[in-house]
Structure 1
Amino acid sequence: MADGEGRNAETVSTSTTKSARRQRALGRNAQAQSGGWSAAIWSLAITTTVLLLVSVVITTLVSMTALGSSTHSQAGTQAGASAGRSSHYNKSGVLKAVPERGAAGACDSSSCAEQARLLLRQINSSRDPCDDFYAYVCEDWALTRPLPPGAERLSMDTILVDGYAELLAAELRENATGYPALRFLLSNCLHPQPTLYPTLCAMFLDTIRLKPWMARASALRHRRPTAPEVARKLAVAFRVLGVDALFRPFVFKSGLSAKRFVGLAEPSTVLMSGPLEKKEYEMVRRALAPLLAFFQNVTDTDLLQFEERLALMLSHPQVDAEALANGTTIKVRDLPVLPNFEWTSFLQSVFDKGLRPITDKTFVKLNSPDYIVRLTRSDLLQFTSQLLGYLVFRVMMVLAPLLDDHDVRDQLASVSYARHQEFPQALPQAHYCLLLLDRFEPNLPLHLSRHFAASLIGGESVVAEMVSTLRAVLLESVQVRLGLKSSELWEHLRDKLNAVSWEPLSPPALATTTVRAAYVDDVYPRNSQMPAAQLFYNWIRKSHEKKLMSHMTYARGRGKGDSGYPGWTGGFLSAESRLAPPYDRLEIPLPVFDLFLNADPALRPLQLARAAPKLYRSLLRAVYHWAYNFEHNVADDKETGGESVTRRLDELRLCLEQQYSAVAWSDRRMQLDASRTSWSDLWDYLALRPALDAFTLFARRVAPDYRLALLEHWDVGQLFFVYYAANHCENSNERFLRRMVALGPHSTAWFRVNGPLRNAREFTQAFGCKPGSFMNPVDQCALSE
């Protein structure tokens, strides 16, 4: 052994000894305070510290090939750059071919010129835009932005979300002073005490009534839990912590009535996004070895194997898990019998007193009946110890950001809070804390940072103007594009669209003092001096139960002073808008917009090339479901104004599915499973035309012939399509792409750009694509008349 290797080995050994000694001391302290789960969790932490250190070589090797590595800080640094940042000029001589600056209508300010230069550096003019428009706009973007080691994907969305997270973390540290409980939570999350995680885990597991022996098959001397007991444990875990180990319950509004009913969706997974091939499975197992070892002292369930068997039965990922256009409604008593599980106990324990009493005659909506059928045919639930061991694992993974040991925290929290399963990346602690807020209680942080967020995109008045423009364009587009004319269906859709509350940047109701005070009192403990574990327990439980119960009792848009106000159901660390059932609140987090386009008012139309498609996707998805419910519940052909709108949309979706399946995309080693992405592809297609209209309208308010200096050869339509594509640019590793094209629910960026544009006459006219060229195929998909 070389001297350097000997010194390294000695350092690791010394570090291991010190860390183990510290863990044993802390373990004795925890055991003195409480028994049961706290003692078990401390004992496994001691063992895992050693396992983490000795497995570092294996983990690093596999992480570089299969999973993510600790590179978030690098990505965060890159996030500070704007959309089109590049370090070299395009070598094709495009600049020489551009007309002189100062053409009528062109913005020639320094900001506009800089934006044009950045875009020119990105465009690959050696490509014909009619051959492959995504490559024309994004190929050089990806080449100049190599992936950090171990990262699965770098895109415009991830850059903006990570950049926003960096800014938001600093903003909250400064602006939480008026709310002691929030400040206390942030402080204790940023610097967690050694006893916080084991104590908090023990509190939640005790609430669920999960005893340590229940997670072990070897504990033969104990009575096994009954089916109703198992069902109640799964239900309480979801009610107080949002853990959906077997099902994800939800509340929905049926058809056109105001009544609310219960539904069941498929659960989420943590360790994998779907079934794995044998070699991939073994590679993932090696990468997750430290994590799996962490739980060996808690449960003898093979966690990776259990989740793989669960994943084999799932139909997800899906876009419309709660919309349920093709779901099944069934009475509780008619649900299939599952081993070691009882339906009524489960549903009663989830919804408690939030709805009318749930009995065996209660109707339940199933978004995936096939999943339940597969469960009945599987032996996954045969052994309660395996199921409850998996439940313990899921509970402890949710709370992983509060671990004090840096190495253990990175192993667990990076997996539990990964942007994409199977591709974890260790994050700074501040980002883990933001993810906790994002998961449980995003509303007060959003309110506190609203003015800061608005300033990044031009201020409140600019946001209001963009929203007003987008709303007006969508109303006209739905009527004209769907051919609704004066039908009762159009009146129904118009009323629904007008009733949607557009909520950019934060929940607007919290701006009202009484609503905000009632909300804060309901979620944040008044006594911020209580022990940290107790405060976190109260905050997490209250915030999640409030979110769940509010769907049953709170009428959105009414009762502004109601303490039951739920706030946003989604979070803020997303580049997508959210319009969840019953489709009456459009949540618009800041990364839906471009944070780097506020330097010049003349650049603001470019915001709509990014934001409009994202917002219209959510809204047109809701339009489909409103039309579906109307046509299937109360309407006949006369009332809808002619042929079924949803049937025409379904035909369009199937056309896109067939077209996308037949296309040989740039990476011919992979084939898109368009049957899994067709719903998302439909929303992309439908959102394109109104987004172009909104962009054009907003641009003409700046100049009748809106152009940018150095890009005068591009008119307003061409600018829109270029920026539309630029906001989809991404660089992904091969394994991530393989998983994405196989599982969905969204197509890759290449399809999301080229797919809609190949079927848009406005695009082919803008760039003069000849019939029969790739971007102007002879057979195109369109909404039938």
Structure 2
Amino acid sequence: MDVSTILLLLYSITAQCHCKKISLSNFLKNITVRADNLTLYMHDVDIHNGLVSFDSVRVEADGVQYNPDKRSEHPYNSGAERVVHYPELASSIDRSIDPCRDFYSYVCKGWIKSHPIPENQFELTQTQVLKEKILREMKELMVTIPAHTTREDILMRIFYQKCVHNTLQPDNDGISMLLSKMRILRRTTSLTDWLLAMRTETIFYDLTVSVDEYNSSANILQIVPGTSMMSARIYFDPAYSHEFVATRDVLFKMLALLSSKDIFMEFFPPNLYDHVRRIESLIMVDQTVAKILEETEFNTDSITVTVAELRGMLKTVDWIRYAHALLPPQLRYSLARRPVRITKTATIQRLEEILLSIDDQTLSDYLDWKAIFHYGDFLGEDFQRLMEEFTAQVYGVKGIDRINDCVSLAMNTFYDIAGRLYLERYFNFDSVFIVKELVEDVRAAFLEMLNKNEWMDMETKERARRKANAIRDFIGYDNNIFNDTLRQVRYAHLTYTATNSYYDITMAIQEWMRESVFLKLDKTNTRGTFDTSVMEVNAFYDSNRNQVAVSAGILQSPFFNASLPRLLNYGAIGVVAGHEVTHAFDDSGASYDEFGNKNDWWDEATYKNFERRKECFDHQYGSIFVNDLNVQIDGRRTEGENIADNGGMRAAIRAASRLSERTSEHFTIAGLEGYTQMQYFFMNYAFIWCGNTRRATLLNKLANDVHAPDMYRVNVVLSNQPEFAEAFECQRGSPMFPERTCTLW
């Protein structure tokens, strides 16, 4: 263990330490450290349930000496030749397939064959298997929360129990609540009145609070575009006609059901003409919105005005009155003069034009649909059955476990409470140190790639280096998740009891969430927090914080396994980490500096080189027709993720090479003898993306997902890497080593 490793260890402890879980003896085994006058200075120490956490630690000592046992390897460095048992991967390889033609199938054929999609799931992938595992673990935690525990834990438990009860025994009160709300809405005389009556609903665009992209330490009011019910592809692409037809069908059935419940025929008379008009109104408006959102998807312009000036630009809403109602009392001062940023200005202006041009009847019908969808989850078992029939008709999925939906809702709503329980019960805290070192290796590899980059001028390259070095990483979790005081403050204004209905509790949570968003308006942002669910099977890059976060949920097999050779982990979680680092320099992240501020830090000629290289990926992915669907990947929509996939792989390859240079680690996987180390590396990368996806689910992803389908996240990425072609001796011109490849980072 060299000095750099010791420094890394101390740095990791500084970042996060939960001493009950971490076995430092694993890292200090066979190492003797001697020092005189050793003093530890710890800041903001917190002890909870036997866990010790602190924000920072400073070590001071005189005459430090360390004596590592030369016979001892790093705790996860296997040293000389080693046979690794990895049956999951070994049994998946299909040697009858040419790896230079279709590497994804070569690696995943066995896994796909042994993992058919259950009838109650949309897909079965490695990621989904891991998500299901976490769901089972969280379900166990939800039902075992003791009766006498913290107030915040009780809030989560009550919500979960009410959701389960509503799923198993719907109270069918939603219809009466909807009709009651419709009476109120009918008395509104303006769109502002309607919005205030519905509170948590929005029309076309929304008023919210987000990070000021030009000053990331502050927050600002923003107007952001909303979403459409269906994407433009469903309306205009014949490949999606089945979903369009099924949607019209279920809308007719919903109106028929509402008519049968509206016994006084106040709003939903059993009139076919009325039903047809309502559905045509919804489709006409939603189709127009979807078309605008697609046509302006890549518009990034914004302007800043005051709330008072907003009324002159977006005339359909009384913004001062609306903002006054939404903002907490302490933030209503100088409201008319408060700045508000209109994001995606061209999109917002076109959406406003729709609102101004819609006739009163069409707008009334559309607003009625918004109210119906608002109460959708509470309209009783007949409506639940309708949605189940729709899901079966469109996706072929039957018997979805709705209890799991309640687990997911509770996990996402109370992500910090659930996350703390998950970490304390299931997380291996030792993995933080291993992954921390891996992430630092990948970052160093990315910096090497920057240094050897020949298409950037020196000044821009230096700015890029500063940004890469400034990236803050969170591995597994943020220490604040164990801070009882912060949790109590966060949930102080959320109040309900077991006597409240599921609907009332849900509305209370939505109001609390909205209030929490607006309370950020006058708060200062810091880069020292990671405010994302630790149970996500994912990793993240936040451009406003220049921050990478690798959630605890993904730090398990197949993405990470501490018992496997490090090279295999570099091919899995290492590529994921590289992917997130590369996001700092993708089509979006490249617009932000090292502090997370939107800033044009590029030399003009260098940026033109950047644009030319990223367009290569647009054409490469955009020319792919997926399987037998006759639907193309949207190269522009998936551009950022494709850049990150390719850059992350290049960084991980370089990091793996650096690893091989400094260690003697060498292994063979039982059942996969005769392969090289780098072949194993590429195999494990492909293995994390193995999966089965239903045809309709894949179509839906192609219409909405910013990622390419998993098969192409393997084959296209690896076809761009000369190291892959070298490892598997692929001939130039073969599918996995095409004549033209793309490289950005």
TM over 0.5: yes
Which of 709, 734, 742 is the matching residue for 1:748? 709
The one-letter code matched in structure 2 to 1:510 is: I
SS in 2 for 1:731: strand
| Correspondence 1:722 to 2:683 | yes
| Correspondence 1:441 to 2:441 | no
Whole-Å separation in 2 of the counterparts to 1:610 and 1:201: 49
Shift in Å, 1:654 = 0.7
Further displaced range: 507-516 or 441-450: 507-516
Map 1:762-773 onto structure 2 (within 5 A).
762-773=723-734
CA offsets, 1:328-378, max 9 Å, x none? Answer: 325364788667444555555555565875548844232362364155147
2:369 corresponds in structure 1 to 390
Shift in Å, 1:750 = 2.4
The one-letter code matched in structure 2 to 1:724 is: Y
1:55 corresponds in structure 2 to none
Shift in Å, 1:758 = 1.4
CA offsets, 1:189-216, max 9 Å, x none? Answer: 322499997779999x89xxx942365x
Shift in Å, 1:446 = 0.6
1:516 corresponds in structure 2 to 487
Whole-Å separation in 2 of the counterparts to 1:448 and 1:420: 38
| Correspondence 1:611 to 2:573 | yes
Which of 367, 376, 379 is the matching residue for 2:344? 367
Which of 526, 536, 548 is the matching residue for 1:556? 526
2:190 corresponds in structure 1 to 226
Whole-Å separation in 1 of the counterparts to 2:611 and 2:244: 36
Contact 1:699 1:716 in 2 (8 A): no
- Summarize the Cα distance change of 1:471–1:350 in structure 2 as closer, same or farther, 3 Å threshold: farther
Shift in Å, 1:169 = 0.9
- The alignment's TM-score, normalised by the length of structure 2, stands at 0.72
SS in 1 for 2:619: helix
SS in 2 for 1:684: helix
Shift in Å, 1:316 = 9.2
The one-letter code matched in structure 1 to 2:410 is: L
1:592 corresponds in structure 2 to 554
- The alignment's TM-score, normalised by the length of structure 1, stands at 0.69
Contact 1:175 1:448 in 2 (8 A): no
Aligned residues: 636
Which of 241, 244, 254 is the matching residue for 2:213? 254
Map 1:433-582 onto structure 2 (within 5 A).
433-454=406-427, 459-478=428-447, 480-481=449-450, 483=453, 487=459, 490=462, 494=466, 498=470, 500-504=472-476, 506-523=477-494, 536-550=506-520, 553-557=523-527, 568=531, 570-571=532-533, 574-580=536-542, 582=544
SS in 2 for 1:263: strand
The one-letter code matched in structure 1 to 2:442 is: V
Contact 2:560 2:572 in 1 (8 A): no
Whole-Å separation in 2 of the counterparts to 1:602 and 1:284: 48
2:227 corresponds in structure 1 to 268
Whole-Å separation in 1 of the counterparts to 2:645 and 2:324: 39
Map 1:583-732 onto structure 2 (within 5 A).
583-584=545-546, 586-595=548-557, 601-602=563-564, 606-624=568-586, 625=588, 627-630=590-593, 646-663=607-624, 666-667=627-628, 669-694=630-655, 704-732=665-693
SS in 2 for 1:774: coil
Whole-Å separation in 2 of the counterparts to 1:763 and 1:757: 6
SS in 1 for 2:634: coil
Whole-Å separation in 2 of the counterparts to 1:273 and 1:197: 36
SS in 2 for 1:191: helix
Shift in Å, 1:768 = 1.4
Map 1:336-351 onto structure 2 (within 5 A).
340-347=316-323, 349-351=325-327
SS in 2 for 1:275: helix
Whole-Å separation in 2 of the counterparts to 1:494 and 1:413: 52
- Summarize the Cα distance change of 1:373–1:327 in structure 2 as closer, same or farther, 3 Å threshold: same
Whole-Å separation in 2 of the counterparts to 1:356 and 1:488: 42
Which of 127, 151, 160 is the matching residue for 1:186? 160
CA offsets, 1:399-421, max 9 Å, x none? Answer: x2x67x55644655998xx9999
The one-letter code matched in structure 2 to 1:309 is: V
1:93 corresponds in structure 2 to none
Contact 2:302 2:342 in 1 (8 A): yes
SS in 1 for 2:538: coil
Shift in Å, 1:551 = 6.3
SS in 2 for 1:237: coil
Whole-Å separation in 2 of the counterparts to 1:679 and 1:131: 26
Shift in Å, 1:611 = 2.6
Contact 2:474 2:549 in 1 (8 A): yes
CA offsets, 1:424-472, max 9 Å, x none? Answer: 7654343122232244321111111113331xxxx21212320332134
| Correspondence 1:128 to 2:98 | yes
SS in 2 for 1:578: strand
Which of 273, 285, 299 is the matching residue for 1:309? 285
1:733 corresponds in structure 2 to 694
SS in 2 for 1:672: coil
Whole-Å separation in 1 of the counterparts to 2:573 and 2:613: 24
CA offsets, 1:264-303, max 9 Å, x none? Answer: 3332345668533555422333356554545554965836
1:69 corresponds in structure 2 to none
The one-letter code matched in structure 1 to 2:210 is: V
Shift in Å, 1:777 = 1.5
Shift in Å, 1:162 = 1.8
Whole-Å separation in 2 of the counterparts to 1:414 and 1:553: 46
SS in 2 for 1:122: coil
- Summarize the Cα distance change of 1:571–1:413 in structure 2 as closer, same or farther, 3 Å threshold: farther
Segments of structure 2 that go 5 or more residues without pairing to the other structure are 1-77, 269-274
- Summarize the Cα distance change of 1:132–1:488 in structure 2 as closer, same or farther, 3 Å threshold: closer
CA offsets, 1:578-634, max 9 Å, x none? Answer: 334523554444443444688872356544433333343334223445542449999
Segments of structure 1 that go 5 or more residues without pairing to the other structure are 1-102, 559-564
CA offsets, 1:19-61, max 9 Å, x none? Answer: xxxxxxxxxxxxxxxxxxxxxxxxxxxxxxxxxxxxxxxxxxx
- Summarize the Cα distance change of 1:634–1:445 in structure 2 as closer, same or farther, 3 Å threshold: closer
Whole-Å separation in 1 of the counterparts to 2:681 and 2:404: 33
Shift in Å, 1:499 = 5.5
- Summarize the Cα distance change of 1:362–1:654 in structure 2 as closer, same or farther, 3 Å threshold: same
Whole-Å separation in 1 of the counterparts to 2:389 and 2:482: 34
- Summarize the Cα distance change of 1:597–1:585 in structure 2 as closer, same or farther, 3 Å threshold: closer
Contact 2:220 2:341 in 1 (8 A): yes
